[in-house]
Chain A
Amino acid sequence: MSVIYVIVPVAVLLAGAAVWAFLWAARQGQFDDLDTPARRVPLDDD
């Protein structure tokens, strides 16, 4: 019995988790505005 039979399903599950996290973020509206972040000036507030 090779360890790959465990590893591959685990990897697929991990990928599924990542996709789920993305879906959650998209449904929250986190990707609705793709332009403004590029213009947020990365300066520390002093």
Chain B
Amino acid sequence: MPNDATITMSERAGLRRARGLGSVSAIEAGVRCSHCRGTVPEGLTEEGSEEQFCCHGCRSAYRIIRSCGLDRYYRLRDMEAGGGVFAAPAPAGSGKYRAFDDPAFHALHCREVPGGLMTTDLVLEGIDCSACVWLLERLPSMSRGVVESRLDFRRSTLRVTWDPAAAALSSIAALLGSLGHRPHPARDTQARRVRTLEDRRAMVRLAVAGACAGNAMLFGVALYAGLFDWMDAGHVELMRWSSMAVTLVSLAWPGRVFFTSAWASLRAGTANLDVPIALALAAGGAWSVASTIRGDGEVYFDTLSVLVFLLLVGRFLQRRRQRWASDAVELLFSLTPTSARRVETDARGFQSVHDVAVEALRAGDVIEVRAGDSIPADGVVVSGESRVDRSLLTGESRPLAVAPGAAAAAGDVNIVSALRVRVTAAGEATRVGQLMRMVEECSRRKAPIVRFADRASVFFTYGMITAAGATLAAWLWMEPAHAVENAVALLVVTCPCALGLATPMALTVAIGRAAKLGLLIKGGDVIERLSVPGRVLLDKTGTLTHGRPAVVRWDGDDSIKQAVAALEAGSNHPIAMAMARDLGGEEMVLVRGEQTTGGGIRGRVGQLDVAVGSPAFIRSIGATDPIGYQGRAEAMALNGLTPVLVAVGGVVSAAAGLGDSARADSSRSIRDLERLGWEPWILSGDDPRVALGIGERVGVAPGRVLGGMSPEGKLETVRRFSATGPTVMVGDGVNDAAALAAAGVGVAVHGGAEASLAAADVYINSPGIAGVGHLIEGSRRTMRLIRTILVVSAAYNLTAGSIAAAGLMSPLIAALVMPASSLTVLTICFRSRTFGGGR
């Protein structure tokens, strides 16, 4: 059985990191924060102190945890994650959670429980390890008034029971916020309630089928023992009637799903896999009941009830696996606000702001969004200027400037100052709401191979009926007494158990293994589509490249690199940081640096007077240019690079070109893709020359590099390619969501996981395209495995069917062979290497 806990952990960690909920990206060195393990900015380190904090939020979270005697949290966390970075708490604004005390909020989200207590479900951000479970379930010892807290890890939902007389919910919410787990009221959507009930029913069916199978097997063993030894006729009767009783329960209760599904499919004029299953169950059941009543003939009760149980186990596991994508997006929906501040104008023209539930918002309403709040609906900014954080939807971590006329989406966080927004869509009509519905629909999609199994089942059904009919006819002619018996034995023994169990199981196991490698695959159909080679379209920025500037060309004396790096190390401009990182080596002492706003920096490094900056800056300080570096800088600019000139002692002596550099592993990954038979293409929104340059570096033929593509252009290209063959689009999910969705398989690399998952079929939680090769290789192995299994089960059915047709199949042999075939198939599933097998 796949280890679900482990799968969930890696999935969750991936989602969290990608969502960037307060967490910091890769950390190389430096002083680590005592709370979140992120790097402490240089100005904030405290000399000689053992406790270091990167921000005020971390400091207060650390204090709370320490003062409640819960320091073990840190040890647990480090043990589990081995040094990752954790959610940094957002500083809690005073009164930020005031809405949690509103009677309307209580009426909507809270329930009274006996003893004068209240209970509510809160969706928390940043839940990613066991230590979180440990800490949050100890909430009663941190906050007076909290009686109980239980965390549902998979859904990131904390059920809090508290005493309203001793504490306000807002204070509990503020405490959670200052621990780094910002609470949001859980939206108990209709869809989730329905799913929970379905899950319970599936669990109950599984349990009943298991109990019946176990008991029927006990009776069966007694009967088989009686075959070899003497058994009292009365005892035989007792065993047969008892096993009939439990098997009828199994067929009528959990087994009913096969009959209803088969009936529905027959009425629709097709035959799914449930038809042959139902046929075998019905024929075997009817014959066995008749034999029991007559007191003569074979019974197959144990085989039938084990069959029902095994088939249900397969379906149950498959169902659980499909859950996570919809859970992740539902979580996203819960993170959008539940209340809005609507601006209302009264008859005299006075404007006032009222708190209303989001459900009450209509298109055309104007709402006010304060700094620090999330935007509750999709809309257009009508007044105010600010910056918004879109990471929830797009994964873009840089805040975006917005001004009147700009679009805003539900879930965006307003950072700087208040905005007024005219609502264009609210509730489930928002982008987040639509994403949710899309993921829900996609998870119901059936893999073609499963559909193939469904198609095969039509032939299977005909084959079974024909074979049974032929057996019946042949035996009626030769020996009429055994005719019906042998036909029934054939039907029971060729029941496509292995077929029905194996395909979904192989896909389930493969998807689970992939998740452990950080490849989150939305459905089994993706695996099948990835197994036939075609074209891979790779986005450039952030996928093949780092997505940040780096020094890609250096024209000039290498000996001054050190000095430039030393000078630039003092600046926090992105270009300066890139130069300091890429040119630096040993430390050089900077004597005096002076940054000017004109696009450059000048200072003394050791004995040298160094100036670094844009060509205009270097010109403005009056540096002479005997070698003509200004001209080279212009050439670099034409090639899509950002030119930077260096003047030493008033003479221009080097030119550097900054651009987005290719990832170190990109060219190897591209070769891997070619080895697997795929044809790599580059699609880039950047200047064609830049795209060509990158293509050359990573080894993609110039004819397959398409630069200067708009998002619409990408979409068009993907559509055109998809029409002629298998097409995989790989992007970071930020601005190519449409192309990802249109491709045969969309692979999102390292963007916002939830948003990417809605558009893409696969989400890879590590940067770069190395994962794409693993994905394709694993998919190919999985499909080979499935074909093997199909062949094995077909061979089994042929053999067992011939034995039954020859009249040699006894219930004992059927009872041994049926589970043996299922076990063979399951062993093949779990033992074979699919994802991660090559390393």
Contact = CB atoms under 8 A, between A and B. Distances in A.
Bound together: yes
Interface of A: 2, 4-5, 8-9, 11-12, 15, 18-19, 22-23, 26-27, 29, 31-36, 38-41, 43, 45
Contacts of B152: 32-33, 35-36
Contact of A15 (B151, B211, B235): B211
A33 B154 contact: yes
Given A26-B204, A41-B130, A35 B5 contact: yes
B153 A36 contact: yes
B5 A38 contact: yes
Contacts of B246: 12, 15
Contacts of A35: 4-5, 8, 152-154
B133 A41 contact: yes
A32 B200 CA distance: 7
Contact of B238 (A4, A15, A19, A45): A4
B304 to A, nearest CB: 17
B275 to A, nearest CB: 29
A26 B204 CA distance: 7
Interface in B202-223: 203-204, 207-208, 211, 214-215
29 contacts: A2-B234, A2-B235, A5-B234, A9-B242, A15-B215, A18-B211, A19-B211, A22-B204, A22-B207, A22-B211, A26-B200, A26-B207, A29-B196, A33-B153, A33-B154, A33-B155, A34-B4, A34-B320, A35-B5, A35-B153, A36-B133, A36-B151, A36-B154, A38-B5, A39-B9, A39-B130, A40-B133, A40-B137, A41-B130
Given A26-B200, A31-B203, 15 more contacts: A15-B246, A23-B204, A27-B200, A29-B200, A32-B200, A35-B5, A36-B133, A38-B4, A39-B5, A40-B133, A40-B134, A40-B137, A41-B76, A41-B131, A43-B134
Nearest to B151: A36
Contacts of A31: 200, 203
A37 B134 CA distance: 11
B134 A41 contact: yes
Interface residues of B, number: 38
A38 to B, nearest CB: 4
Majority secondary structure of chain A interface residues (helix, strand, loop or mixed): helix
Interface string B152-173: 1111000000000000000000
Contacts of A12: 215, 242, 245-246
A22 B206 CA distance: 11
Nearest to B69: A46
B157 to A, nearest CB: 9
Contacts of A11: 215
A35 B246 CA distance: 32
A24 B153 CA distance: 24
Nearest to B135: A41
Given A36-B133, A36-B153, A40-B137, A5 B204 contact: no
A8 B203 CA distance: 27
A4 B226 CA distance: 15
Contacts of A36: 133, 150-154
Interface string B57-80: 000000000000000100010000
A22 to B, nearest CB: 5
Most buried by A among B154, B203, B234: B203
Contacts of B150: 36
A45 B152 CA distance: 20
Interface string B683-721: 000000000000000000000000000000000000000
B232 interface: yes
Contacts of B4: 34-35, 38
Contacts of A2: 232, 234-235
A38 B4 CA distance: 9
Most buried by B among A15, A33, A34, A35: A35
Most buried by B among A12, A19, A31: A19
